[in-house]
Amino acid sequence: MDWRDLVTITLAGVLGMVGGVFGPVGIAAGVVVGAAVGARWGARSDRIAALEDRVSAVESEAADEDA
């Protein structure tokens, strides 16, 4: 569990509270939407970080071969 998971949980909780204005169905919908948005954001940021790591590794290998 990292900080992205905590952001996802917090976002689900906040949107659940906002959805509470519309009653119990709004709470459930807010939690589901918040969790979905947070999960998509977390997955996207993990993919971007992994891509940056792979690019750095390839660039360093290319620099090592040139030297």
Q: What predicted TM-score, i.e. pTM, was given to this entire model?
A: 0.76
Q: pLDDT digit string (tens) for 6-60? A: 999 999 999 999 999 999 999 999 999 999 999 999 999 999 999 999 999 999 9
- The residue that leads in pLDDT, 1 or 55, is 55
* Neighbouring residues of 45: CB distance < 8 A, sequence distance ≥ 6: 4
Tell me the DSSP string of 23-57: -HHHHHHHHHHHHHHHHHHHHHHHHHHHHHHHHHH
Please report which confidence band the pLDDT of residue 62 belongs to, taking 50, 70 and 90 as the band edges: confident
